[in-house]
Amino acid sequence: MIKIRIKYLLILIVVAGSFFYFTAYSSARPGQAAALQELLPQERKTVSLFESCAPSVVYITSIAVRQDLFSMNVFKVPQGTGSGFIWDKKGHVVTNFHVIQDAQAAEVTLADHSNWKASLVGVEVDKDLAVLKIDAPADKLQPVKVGSSASLRVGQSVYAIGNPFGFDHTLTTGIISGLGREITSVSNRPIQGVIQTDAAINPGNSGGPLLDSHGRLIGINTAIYSPSGAYAGIGFAVPVDTIKRLVPQIIRYGKARKPGLGIQIADDYITARLDIKGVLIVDVLKGSPAAKAGLKPTVQNVFGEIVLGDIIVALNGKPINNTNDLYRILDNLKVGDTVRLTVERDGRRRTVTITLMAV
């Protein structure tokens, strides 16, 4: 008899618990929907943008290989973290070069928290870009929607999604504070046309997407201006038009095909010490357009004296005072373009025509 009563008691407890669970669950769902409806239209738009774009953003861990001094065993340790975004269904992931710089390996974590080993496809150091590849199935990959940076306006809303300080899929908002800015890349070459934003960008945000109000990629978050190293209201993103031009080249060739003259040039501090205004040619590559145009490299004569080469002073009529001036002009040209190069030799100027080669 006691056993029967206990059995009925257990049944009543289970039924009551189930009733409470389904009642609570069913009442919570309408509450959540109601809470969403209570949001302002702009808030609902921001929530929708984040939920639709977050799956395109990844968490990147750069890994270093270390060896135990006693056991001599090799092990991997995290070296740094950053952000990136899915480029296509083939598993290509775009990030900043400095995120994976000096790493022996890298790991990509998707929005569903699955981890994938990444291989390096190629880099463009001068624009701080890198392309990785993971072997995740296509149904796990949501490529970012690619926009344009040509028609951006100061004051329009922007959204940054990344992993600052390791907090994955963090959304920050702001506006475009400025356009046409210039920052310096890892290779000390200028990156032009950079987007300035006040959306919070902190360590770990590097490589993540900067989006417009339609959730389209307009830039890759790359750098901040801050005396302390933390967010100070000034962040910079490399424009998407630069990304669209270079990433397909990196995927196809393993590097970007940049226009060049076929020369090696001296660093600015050397020309400054020599009191030279312009860009000094150190070497001319054999068979290059520069060699065909008769440009003269810097050489050492039979007496051991250094004989300076040609000094570039203008390109297409625009004055060249230093290497950055030369890079800025070349960045706006393409492989195969014909240019007029003005050089100074023995105090005299001459202009030659050169067809730019891929470097």
pLDDT digits (tens, 9 = 90+) for 141-167: 999 999 999 999 999 999 999 999 888
What pLDDT digit, counting tens, does each position of 14-25 carry?
344 444 333 333
- Per-residue confidence band for 80, with pLDDT thresholds at 50, 70 and 90: confident
The residues that are catalytic are: 98, 128, 206
For the chain, how far is it from start to end, CA to CA, in angstroms? 92
CATH architecture of 53-140: Beta Barrel (2.40)
Q: How far apart are CA 355 and CA 340, in angstroms?
A: 9
Residue spans of the domains in the chain: they are 2-38, 53-140, 147-253, 259-358
Residue 18's region, left for phi above 0, alpha for psi from -120 to 50, else beta, is alpha
pLDDT at 73: 59
Whether 259-358 and 147-253 are alike in CATH topology: the answer is no
Instruction: Dig out the tokens for 76 from the structure.
Output: 């991997």
CATH topology of domain 147-253: Thrombin, subunit H (2.40.10)
- Per-residue pLDDT tens over the stretch 202-245: 888 999 999 999 999 999 999 988 776 666 789 999 999 999 99
pLDDT score at 1 = 41
> Which run of H or of E encompasses 195?
strand 190-197
pTM here is 0.78
H or E element: which one contains 76? Answer: strand 74-86
- Return the CATH number of 259-358, one of 3.10.580.10, 2.30.42.10, 3.30.365.10, 3.40.50.300: 2.30.42.10
Listed in sequence order, the residues at least 6 apart from 55 whose beta carbon sits closer than 8 Å to its beta carbon are 110, 111, 112, 142
φ, ψ dihedrals at 251, nearest 5°: -65, -40
